[in-house]
Amino acid sequence: MLGYYPGCTVRAHQNENFEKEALAILKVLGISVEELSEWECCGAIYPLTNDEYVPLLSSVRALKRTEEEKKEGLLTLCSACYHVLKRVNHRMNNDKEAKRRVENYLDDKYEGTTKVLHLIEVLRDQVGYKKIKEHVASSLEGEKIATYYGCLFLRPEKEMELLDAENPGVMEEIVKALGAEPVIYPYRTDCCGAYHASDKEEVSNGASLKIVMSAKKAGATQLVTACPLCKHNLEHCQKDLQDEQKLPVHFITAPIYEALGAEKKADEQPLAN
Amino acid sequence: MRFPTKTASIKEQQELADIIQKNVKDCYQCLKCSAGCPLTEHMDYYPHQVMLLAKMDLYEKIFNSKTLWVCASCLACSSRCPRDLEPAKVMEGLRTMIIRKRGEGNVEVVNPKGVPRQALISSMRKLRR
Ligand code: SF4
Ligand code: SF4
């Protein structure tokens, strides 16, 4: 049983179906998850300063709770939550001073046994591409799917240790397993402009449009990502384009959900939680 | 009687080093950080130039530049720096110096509507106090 950490952005944007699709897929593929009995926002961004400890606290609480509830790992869907929880975990296990101070604040100990997992990682390591392929009910043949990784999922490479940050391939493998064609284009690991969506829109729109145009030029019929903020930026930057020029942006779960026929299968049995 | 032994600029050097635990003097100006930075078109100093200014103790120039507020902490530079200096961290340290001591961060959240909360929380944490 994996502990499940929804994160506040995914929870708040239920209409985007990221959570619904992810839980349905996991159910179909036989991975059981249970939401942590209590969790708070991880802080959305990892603090790079060495002398601030308070921004680490909420993540440590989630890591600790996973330990207490004896879960086999802590699953996240959002790349940002994954990034923050994983780096905080890394810091707690490698920086004695941070650990001491955090435990002092919390007046509690964290053993450091929790493993932070991303949905994509679970699909790769615990399910496997072969099994995904076996579960495909309607192949996505003919779709050309461009995968977008963004920053937080990949970097810093030596702490995230999930993928080759310069040339990742997991989402492409998943797309292939679904019967679609993965589209490789130059900017799939470049930044979308991130939080500048809220203060310097011209920066995030510019960075995102470059990515979208590059994917389109490479022949993509849709763009997929695992980050709610990337998805927002990649969609928002296209607001002035004509409808027929727009490249649809989805969560990576959408094509999987579709290919597995997860809606129908999930209906037969109610989802966890 | 005690005389101050540190000049202002050494104090800033020390402050930065305390915040980020890195020595900017280790930068050998290979430009790898700037070459991969996706946002340089909006910057007045490129990331390696910020490193150089910090090396030369020209903090006022950095504090008045746009670059610190344009950096999106995407960590491309940090992942690639051959000296492991984490330029994104240096940027954060410099921003933090401004935010802590020199008053407000210099950005406003202008577009809170319809923006994922992840962006709002991040920009508050990165750019303001
Ligand atoms: S990549 Fe590192 S060593 Fe090279 S210029 Fe940038 S900060 Fe300096
Ligand atoms: S972290 Fe900042 S300076 Fe470094 S590559 Fe990204 S935007 Fe450029």
Q: What residue's CA is closest to ligand 2, atom 8?
A: B37
Residues with CB under 6 A from ligand 2: A 191; B 36-37, 39, 47, 71-77, 87-88, 91
* A55 has a chain B CB within 8 A of its CB: yes
Which whole number is the average pLDDT over A19-24?
Answer: 94
CB of A193 less than 8 A from some CB of B: yes
Judged by a CB distance cut-off of 8 A, whether residue A47 touches chain B is yes
User: What percentage of chain B reaches a pLDDT higher than 90?
Assistant: 64
**Whole-number pLDDT of residue A264:** 76
Q: What is the mean pLDDT of chain A?
A: 91
Q: Does A229 touch chain B (CB under 8 A)?
A: yes
For residue B112, what pLDDT band results from cuts at 50, 70 and 90?
Answer: low
ipTM over 0.85: yes
How many Cβ atoms are within 10 Å of B4's Cβ, its own excluded? Answer: 8
Strand ranges (E), A140-242: 144-147, 181-183, 222-225
Give the integer Cα–Cα distance in Å for A235 and A230.
8
Q: How far is the CA of B67 from the centre of ligand 2 (A)?
A: 9
Q: CA A22 to CA A263: how far, in whole Å?
A: 11
Q: Say if A237 is an interface residue toward chain B (CB within 8 Å).
A: no
Q: Whose CA is nearest to atom 4 of ligand 1?
A: B30
First-residue to last-residue Cα distance in chain B: 38
Res. A157 pLDDT band, cuts 50 70 90: confident
SS3 A145: strand
Determine the distance separating the centroid of ligand 2 and the alpha carbon of B36, expressed in angstroms: 8
Q: How far is the CA of B95 from the centre of ligand 2 (A)?
A: 13
What distance in Å separates residue A179's CA from the closest CA in chain B? 32
Q: Per mean pLDDT, which range of A143-157, A174-188, B67-81, B101-115 is the poorest? A: B101-115
The Cα of A105 is separated from the nearest Cα of chain B by a number of Å equal to 20
B115 vs A209, A233, A254, B26, CA distance in Å? 17, 9, 21, 39
Residue A269: pLDDT band with limits 50, 70, 90: low
pLDDT score recorded for residue A159: 87
The arrangement of strands across the sheet holding A181-183 comes to: A181-183, A144-147, A222-225, A249-251
More confident residue, A76 or B100: A76
Coil/strand/helix, residue B76: helix
Whole-number pLDDT of residue A273: 47
Over range A233-242, report the average pLDDT.
93
Which of A49, A157, A197 shows the shortest C-beta gap to B79? A157
At B27, is the pLDDT very low, low, confident or very high (cuts 50, 70, 90)? very high
HSE-CB at A17 with a 13 A cutoff on CA atoms is 14
Contact B79 A155 (CB under 8 A): yes
Q: Which of A158-162, B1-5, B87-91 has the highest mean pLDDT?
A: B87-91
A201 touches chain B (CB under 8 A): yes
B124: distance to nearest CA of chain A, Å? 9
The model's pTM: 0.91
Element spanning A5, H or E: strand A2-5
| Residue among B32, B71, B78, B92 whose CB has most ligand 2 atoms within 8 A, to mutate | B71
Q: What mean pLDDT is reported for chain B?
A: 85
Which one of A198, A225, A235, A239 makes the best mutation probe of the B interface by having the most chain B beta carbons within 10 Å?
A: A198
CB contact under 8 A, A49 and B19: yes
Within chain B, residue ranges assigned H as helices are 8-20, 32-36, 47-55, 59-63, 67-70, 76-80, 87-101, 117-127
List the single best residue of B79, B98, B118, B121 to mutate versus A (max A Cβ within 10 A): B118
Among A158, A206, A229, beta carbon nearest to B119: A229
Cβ-defined contact of B112 to A78 (cutoff 8 Å): no
- Indicate whether A93 pLDDT > 80: yes
